[in-house]
Amino acid sequence: MKKLGSRSSTSDVLQDKNLTGRTIVITGSNCGIGFEAAQALASAGAKVIFACRNIEKGEDALNRCKALHPQSNLAFFPLDLASADSIKQFCNDIKDETIDTLICNAGLMPTDYQETKEGLEMTVGVCHFGHFLLSTLLLPQLLKAKTASGKAARIVMLSSESHRMPATLNFNKFPLKKTDRYSSLTAYGQAKLCNALFANELQRRYQDKGLTACSLHPGSLITTSFGRDSGVLSLLFKLVSPLTKSPNQGAATTVYCASHENTEQLAGKYFSHCKPVRSSKEANNPVAAKKLWDVSEEWVKTLTN
């Protein structure tokens, strides 16, 4: 097999792999690296469930994937990670599916302060709290899949090298509030740190029950729709695009973590360029990970009160 690295494509990763019988849910799979991961995994035989906020774009992505791989097994269900009701409805919609893998890919970086429907700062609300609720609601299905297949189910969290800033997660200003001095970069850094912490805490809590969790950095400034709300960001992304990965190359590490046969080599690790690398000290802080879990659980409880 070709040695994998920073310029590897999803095809390089999936060479000679057959994922028939696997069912994989991918959030934010209508564009960018999410779509590239979805179509690649579908090409290898996996059933792929597209989970996207915009119904029109989600259905279009499914149709584009079907055109690329006519024999693929695909489904689409709407999912808005900024709405707890939408997350609950999505989980109900797929309650009869045997899910082997959940890829928490969806993300955003608003340039101004915005809130989810439950009043959380949007970046952390979607990237962490939305994925926390989704993951915990789907845990019974994931653990059941392990029992049925004998292989560990997995949750793959898309983090980023941005998780290194902030150096620590300040729970006194988490999530950021409108009254705080809002910075989109700070909010994004918080969110990506949460992704790594959440993956590590999932691994600690559920490794003995048949779940593997890991996090990853897809690549720097990949051409995505992140800049759609900002002309400055769009221009910046365009200027640096010759130095960055393509969306397909950016999806390679996601596909690697979703398809790698030895889950023990994934467990609790952080990946970049299709190989494990060291994440920040805070990302590996079990105290911070547990506190984040507790804070997230408290938020979930407020939804039923």
d(CA 56, CA 250): 24
Three-point CA angle 3, 157, 256, nearest 5°: 20
Q: Is the dihedral of CA 262, 2, 73, 268 positive or negative?
A: positive
How many whole angstroms separate alpha carbon 257 and alpha carbon 265?
Answer: 10
Is 188 an annotated catalytic residue? yes
CA atoms within 13 A on the CB side of 170: 11
Residue 78 has φ and ψ, to the nearest 5°, of -65, 140
User: How much helix, strand and coil, in percent to the nearest 5, is found in the chain?
Assistant: 50, 15, 35
Catalytic residue among 182, 188, 206, 270: 188
CB 85 within 8 A of CB 77: no
- Pairwise CA distance, residues 279 & 272, whole Å: 10
Q: 271 near 256, Cβ under 8 Å?
A: yes
Cβ atoms of 95 and 26 within 8 Å: the answer is no
Count of beta carbons in the 10 Å neighbourhood of residue 38 = 33
Say if residues 65 and 75 touch (Cβ distance below 8 Å).
no
Residues 152 and 144 sit within 8 Å (Cβ to Cβ): no
Nearest to 10 by CA among 259, 278, 288, 271: 259
Largest CA distance in the chain: 53
Q: How is residue 283 written in tokens?
A: 């990302």
Residues forming the active site: 188
